[in-house]
Structure 1
Amino acid sequence: MKALVYNGPCDVSVENVPDARIERATDVLVRITTTNICGSDLHMYEGRTDMPPGRILGHENLGVVIEVGAAVDRVKVGDWVALPFNVGCGFCENCERGLSAFCLTTNPGMAGAAYGFADMGPYAGGQAELLRVPYGDYNCLVLPRDAEAKQNDYVMLADIFPTGYHATELAGVRPGESVVIYGAGPVGLMATLSSVTKGASQVMVVDTQKDRLALAEKLGAIPIDNTEGDGVEQVMELTGGKGADRGCECVGYQCCKLHREEVPGLTMNNLVASVKFTGRIGCVGVFVPQDPGSKDKLGRVGKMPFDFGMFWFKGQSMGTGQCNVKAYNRFLSRLIEKDKVRPSFIVSHELPLDQAPMGYENFDQRNDGWTKVVLKPGS
């Protein structure tokens, strides 16, 4: 099969590799028809993780079931399925509590596993023609009959739509409240969509990318361009000096000032400054225990300067961590099915798998108009 292989920093290529196959009775084999490049893939692409060469990337996957293991009961050949990026077992203590991002069995020595991701188990990614899905009955979300026609919407259920929603859940967003979202990338835009859907009265989105801010504005949010004045000051002015009720962090550990100058802790500290006293922050941007590629001494060991004094003084609280996709993907799929939301609005480029290296290069450079790249292995 063809698959996108990581060779080293900023070097990926489409190669012929052995076909994915059923390995255990609980496995499902999926022919991938749609798979996305995620912002978190870029951490690995840039060599900012310990991803070994030779691994297949890709954790936002959708396709058709072509084979099932002997112990699979629910999922059938021919089903269209969206696959949470979390690889869970369904029976450990955390999976039973709905915390599938922290499965205790699928990644020995670590809580949590994912497809094609550094430090998250041996599972091959889905930027390929075929994908083996462990514990298929648990991990496959069987999609409605309109799945083939709405692939670019349903594939967002694999990660970014639930993750954006998770940010609003961690922040505790409720109807009538104000929300500030740092980051207008795909996850930030999904947090924007989720906040609007939840009935937030005022949604402010802070970024430096004008094309992405324009998409946030189309959703009804107030775009705040950090290149045109201090974002914190603009949030405070828009909220009468009080600050937002809730804040969502959707950037991650490679947050930058202008000209892509990395400043660890910048986004988190701006959230502390722009969220009100007793407000709450939801943090879903990727942070890692170590970042050997960081130029910052603290960043290399996964730490950052954090304004805990002001965070404590303001009586704020915070929720963090990867999204438990299965906690949200089923009811979010119903919003897509009933045309209440169309998360595919963020898709800027749809490419065949052979053009994935070019897609990675442009998405990594944050080139204008490259908002979300969808790959089509079958095209």
Structure 2
Amino acid sequence: MKAAILEEHGEPLAIEEVDAPSADPEGAVVEIEACGICRSDWHGWQGDWAWLGIQPQPGQILGHEPAGRVVEVGEEVEHVREGDHVAIPFNIGDGTCPECQRGYSNTCENLMPLGFVEPVQGAFAELTHVPAADHNVVQLPDGVSSVDMAGLGCRFMTSFHALAHRADVGAGDWVAVHGCGGIGLSAVHIADALGANVIAVDLMDEKLDLATNLGAVATVNASEADNVSGEVAAIAGGGADVSVDALGIAETCRNSVQSLGNRGQHLQIGLTTEAEEGEVSLPTDMMVMKEIEFIGSLGMPPTRYDEIFRMVQTGKLQPAEIVSETVALEDVSAKLEAMTDFGTTGIPVIEEF
């Protein structure tokens, strides 16, 4: 099969023919019809996250936002069938640990992030293998396209879990989203669908315009603002109720925290870069005085995807609106390079392998 292989961090991926995977007894092989290109892929391509123990090594197939068709299942698989139209979450759980058994497979004790570690090769390829398929494979509803659903494996479902499950977002609440890449734009759209008033923050007018189309009621261009958090707080009448760092750099994290009002909730979705190595200093005294909550959020349990699908079926959520373009597998390196300077808008999706 054809795949995009990491040879050296920061260098173009090699498009090569490699051995196709076969299903282990509890696994399934999925033919990839579409796969999003995510900023997390950029992190892995850059060589980030050694401090988390998930730095991709040479030989790794990246890609963790796939949708496609099951073409082979292992002999012990009970619920997944050949021909099923599926998505694959990036947070691959073993299905057996206490976290998985309690419904928190996104924080599995033996979590394997798809496309970042050797046991789970990614989906920048014609085929990928999914371990513990009954636990990890998500059946897609009828009538949706793989391209439209490609972002579900990471960006869209991560934002949904953060806003719908981890934070306390109510109708009319002010929600600020700092960083309008794929995950931030997903957060804007989801927060709007949940009834919040959304303030979008980014450096680029093009992304802020898209955020407005997705439901933001106000925007702040951080390249022009003297005090980003102050502007957000002023729009929200004294401070946001919930604020999201959807990027993961020190500046957006601090801006997010400082834009909150009393008893506000900060949602940390973005993971950091080599500049921070997982450590960001915060105004802790102010957080104490204002009783601010700092909430981490990772992925989403596959068992709760049906919540997204029900909102998609009624038109309240439209993940396809965040897909900005479709490309070929050979274009992946160029898209990753463009992300270095935040040069992509929305979610680019591979549909030609």
- Structure-1 separation of matches of 2:352 and 2:310: 26
Cα contact 1:182–1:205 (8 A) shared by 2: yes
- Structure-2 separation of matches of 1:279 and 1:91: 36
**1:141 — aligned with what?**
138
Structure 1 residue 207: deviation in Å?
1.0
* Amino acid aligned to 1:246: V
Count of residues in Structure 1 that have an aligned counterpart in Structure 2: 344
SS state at 1:220 partner: coil
Structure 1 residue 377: deviation in Å?
4.2
**1:44 — aligned with what?**
44
- Structure-1 separation of matches of 2:228 and 2:205: 14
Cα contact 1:60–1:126 (8 A) shared by 2: yes
Q: RMSD in angstroms over aligned alpha carbons?
A: 1.7
- Structure-1 separation of matches of 2:323 and 2:290: 38
* Gapped regions of structure 1 (runs ≥ 5): 256-264
* Amino acid aligned to 1:205: A
Match of 1:58 among 60, 63, 85: 63
From the superposition, tell whether residues 179 and 82 of structure 1 become closer, same or farther in structure 2 (CA, over 3 Å). same
* Amino acid aligned to 1:215: L
From the superposition, tell whether residues 15 and 343 of structure 1 become closer, same or farther in structure 2 (CA, over 3 Å). same
TM-score, with length taken from structure 2:
0.92
Match of 1:315 among 279, 283, 291: 291
Match of 2:185 among 189, 210, 216: 189
Moved more, 226-235 or 124-133: 226-235
Structure 1 residue 350: deviation in Å?
0.6
* Amino acid aligned to 2:326: E
Structure 1 residue 336: deviation in Å?
2.3
Residue 123 (structure 1) aligned with residue 120 (structure 2):
yes
1:17-38 per-residue CA deviation (whole Å, 9 max, x = no partner) reads 111111x211111100100111
* Gapped regions of structure 2 (runs ≥ 5): 50-54
Q: Mapping of 1:1-379 within 5 angstroms? A: 1-11=1-11, 12-22=13-23, 24-49=24-49, 50-104=55-109, 107=110, 112-117=111-116, 120=117, 122-147=119-144, 150-168=145-163, 169-200=165-196, 202-221=197-216, 222-229=218-225, 230-240=227-237, 242-252=238-248, 255=249, 265-287=250-272, 293-294=274-275, 299-300=276-277, 302-367=278-343, 370-378=345-353
Structure 1 residue 345: deviation in Å?
1.5
Structure 1 residue 219: deviation in Å?
2.0
Structure 1 residue 121: deviation in Å?
5.9
TM-score, with length taken from structure 1:
0.86
1:202-231 per-residue CA deviation (whole Å, 9 max, x = no partner) reads 210111022111111112211111112122
1:138-188 per-residue CA deviation (whole Å, 9 max, x = no partner) reads 1111112213xx222222221111111123132321112111111111111
Cα contact 2:148–2:320 (8 A) shared by 1: yes
Cα contact 2:103–2:301 (8 A) shared by 1: no
- Structure-2 separation of matches of 1:249 and 1:358: 26
Cα contact 1:171–1:247 (8 A) shared by 2: no
Structure 1 residue 87: deviation in Å?
0.8
* Amino acid aligned to 2:236: T
* Amino acid aligned to 1:6: L
Q: Percent of aligned positions with the same letter in both sequences? A: 31
From the superposition, tell whether residues 143 and 63 of structure 1 become closer, same or farther in structure 2 (CA, over 3 Å). same
SS state at 2:112 partner: coil
- Structure-1 separation of matches of 2:40 and 2:199: 23
**1:260 — aligned with what?**
none
